[in-house]
Amino acid sequence: MAIQVIEGYREVAPAKRAEGEAVVFDANGVYYRQLNDAIRDAVASGVRHVIVENANGQRYIGAGLRVPDLRIEVRGTAGNDLAAFMDGPAVEVFGNAQDGVGNTMASGKVVVHGDAGDVLGYGMRGGRVFVRGDVGYRVGIHMKAYENLVPIVVCGGKARDFFGEYMAGGMLVLLGMNTQFPNDPVAGSFLGTGMHGGVIYVRGEVEPWQCGKEVGIAPADDEDYKALRPVLEDYCGSLGVDLDEVLAVPFTRIAPMSHRPYGKMYAYL
């Protein structure tokens, strides 16, 4: 049977092998649909540790999976929407991740040992996303919290514009440490624009010109550190970062001044 080639990838099931109790899929040249079908079939058969090696931008890895004891390890670059709609599993990427990590994620944990792209945590409802390096634009946009579900995103490097845009709940943390851009500000412009819930913590100082008009800026206080410290302990333990070094620089707290920042722009009849 002829093998169809789509976008430079082979439309064929990935080669697989066992590595201890894990099932290893070789994603080299494999189209994302075939890779994700193979992962779902393995999980349905009872596999609880999946390794994807030679990943090169395949999308939707871990998307929609609802298996709390499942661990997925990605070796290479994970494509867009890693862990989208995920509810429970743990995903660890030994490399970089593209856009949309944790899109509308409900629970679980994603750890990225490299950099990540734009719109991380888009509409995220719960769980944690930890990135060691830099991130792109609109991280945390429309993040939400509900009852005991509190989404958390921690970025170890620097961020581009619109960090925390329209954020409605949860916690965003930006460390500015493991970065490719040492001369850039820790975040770009429009930080917290349209924010009406949740909290942002930035290691170091933030200038008013960087922030949206909807937020207030203040040094983190003791109550902030009570909430922040266990998150940083988890982050540092997951990525091998020195907690004392992280806490050696004071944090800035950024929070909305109103839950309805655009209320005056609407007309009521």
Same domain, 28 and 155: no
Same domain, 76 and 142: no
Q: Look-up: residue for tokens 């850039």? A: 184
What confidence tens digit (pLDDT) does each residue in 14-29 have? 888 898 899 999 999 9
What pLDDT is recorded for position 11? 75
**Residue 1 pLDDT class (50, 70, 90 cuts):** very low
Burial (CB count within 10 angstroms: exposed 0-12, middle 13-18, buried 19+), residue 21: exposed
Same domain, 250 and 127: yes
What pLDDT is recorded for position 7? 62
Residue 140 has pLDDT above 60, yes or no: yes
How many domains does the structure of the chain reveal? 2
Same domain, 78 and 152: no
Same domain, 81 and 129: no
Residue 268 has pLDDT above 60, yes or no: no
Indicate whether 110 belongs to any domain.
no
Q: How confident is the prediction for the chain on average, in pLDDT?
A: 93
What confidence tens digit (pLDDT) does each residue in 55-95 have? 999 999 999 999 999 999 999 999 999 999 999 999 999 99
What proportion of the chain, given as a percentage, has pLDDT over 90? 85
What pLDDT is recorded for position 12? 77
- CA dist 100 and 140 (Å) reads 10
Indicate whether 249 belongs to any domain.
yes
- Domain with 59, as residue range(s), is 1-86
| 168 within 8 A of 192, measured Cβ to Cβ | no
Same domain, 75 and 163: no
Q: Which of 42, 44, 67 is nearest to 52 (CA)?
A: 42
Q: Which of 86, 102, 132 is the last residue of a domain?
A: 86
Cα distances from 45 to residues 48, 59, 120, in angstroms, run 9, 22, 31
- CA dist 218 and 205 (Å) reads 9
Same domain, 55 and 122: no
The larger pLDDT score, comparing residue 10 to residue 189, is at 189
Q: Which of 78, 123, 88 is nearest to 109 (CA)?
A: 88
Same domain, 125 and 78: no
CATH number at residue 175: 2.160.20.60
**Residue 158 pLDDT class (50, 70, 90 cuts):** very high
